[in-house]
Amino acid sequence: MKIIVTIKQVPEANKVAVNPETGTLIREGVESILNPFCEYALDMAVKLKIQNPDLNVEIIVISMGPPQAKYALIRCLELGADKAYLLSDRAFSGSDVWATALTLKEGILKKIGNFDLILAGKQAIDGDTAQVPAELAENLGIPHIYYGFDIKIDKKKINVKKETEKGYKVIEVRLPALVTISKGPSTIRRLPSMKDMIEARKKPLEIINAKSLNMDENKIGLNGSFTQVVKIFSPPTKKAGEIIDGNDSINAAEKLFMFLKEKLIV
């Protein structure tokens, strides 16, 4: 059984700043990490491999990004992936969600071939669009389920526990299929051992350029993007609210009444 996990390298969320003049993210000097939700997806793939030894599961990770994204892939190899592919080329620069999904589709079909299951993080913490997995599934012509947190394999089908606002529902789908993974009840992310880190350097990691995918240059990168981010800005800082001491209930009630009266609420 072949499980593909799509992953993304993202900047450390709490260290990203916005240039007020250009409206773009300041990435220089900002540490990049493996997107946490992608890590949950990889963790799910590893669990399925352990739970189904008779299926001879192979885990392949694939990403599109700059050359340094290979370090996120190495992290995936340390965490249990068997093989990695990085789609990296200046021609891919400026890709929106559609162009990204289309490029990933071509990378999967031309470099990996047949597969049984694709897992992806429910969203990336830098863009939060959560659109690429669904668009990838549509491009591949396979069903997709969002917000899964548990998967059981049953021959050529899977049963997926999907998060809902009121709990969860179980959905059955035939393979091949794509499932995005949310955190669910998981609270601990695994750490690789020293042996895992050493073994990861021996696993195959292939970097793929645009030419090897033989894609129309008008369908990739900025040329193939239907949308473009014009400006990014930080939300305005809100004024701190007033806290009324509730130890003296009469005095607190008077202050609250005067506040509401001042705001023309009463």
Tens of pLDDT, residue by residue over 76-85, are 999 999 999 9
Same-domain pairing of 80 and 163: yes
**Residue 229 belongs to a domain:** no
User: pTM (2 decimals)?
Assistant: 0.83
| 72 neighbors 207 (Cβ within 8 angstroms) | no
* Residue 236 DSSP label: P
H or E, element range at 36: helix 36-51
CA neighbor of 60 nearest in space, from 111, 109, 107, 5:
5
Q: What pLDDT score does 13 carry?
A: 63
**Residue 185 belongs to a domain:** yes
Number of domains present in the structure of the chain: 2
Q: Which residues pair with 37 in a beta bridge?
A: none
**Residue 146 belongs to a domain:** yes
Residue 164's φ and ψ, nearest 5 degrees, are: -130, 175
Same-domain pairing of 164 and 259: no
Same-domain pairing of 20 and 91: yes
Number of Cβ within 10 Å of residue 196's Cβ equals 14
| 64 neighbors 104 (Cβ within 8 angstroms) | yes
Please report where in the chains the tokens 């929106």 appear, as a residue: 96
Q: How is 125-162 classified by DSSP, letter by letter?
A: TTT----HHHHHHHHHT--EEEEEEEEEEETTEEEEEE
**Residue 111 belongs to a domain:** yes
Q: What pLDDT score does 239 carry?
A: 80
Q: What angle do CA 7, 117, 1 make, to 5 degrees?
A: 115
Say which CATH number the domain at 168 has.
3.40.50.620
DSSP H stretches of helix in the chain: 36-51, 70-78, 97-107, 132-140, 194-200, 210-213, 249-262
CA distance 156 to 67: 36
Return the sign of the alpha-carbon dihedral for residues 173, 174, 177, 183: positive
* Regions of the chain short of the pLDDT cut 70: 13-30, 185-189, 234, 266
| 9 neighbors 117 (Cβ within 8 angstroms) | no
Same-domain pairing of 72 and 155: yes
CA distance 149 to 168: 9
Residue 212's φ and ψ, nearest 5 degrees, are: -70, -20
Return the sign of the alpha-carbon dihedral for residues 204, 209, 211, 215: positive
Same-domain pairing of 42 and 79: yes
Q: Please state, in angstroms and as integers, the Cα–Cα distance from residue 96 to each residue in 100, 101, 131, 223, following that order.
A: 6, 9, 10, 10
Same-domain pairing of 194 and 253: no
Residue 179 three-state SS:
strand
CA distance 240 to 227: 36
Same-domain pairing of 265 and 165: no
Same-domain pairing of 145 and 260: no
Structural domain including 252 reads: 236-266
Same-domain pairing of 213 and 260: no
Per-residue model confidence as pLDDT tens digits over 120-149:
999 888 877 889 999 999 999 999 999 999
Q: Please state, in angstroms and as integers, the Cα–Cα distance from residue 167 to each residue in 44, 146, 262, following that order.
A: 20, 14, 42
**Residue 228 belongs to a domain:** no
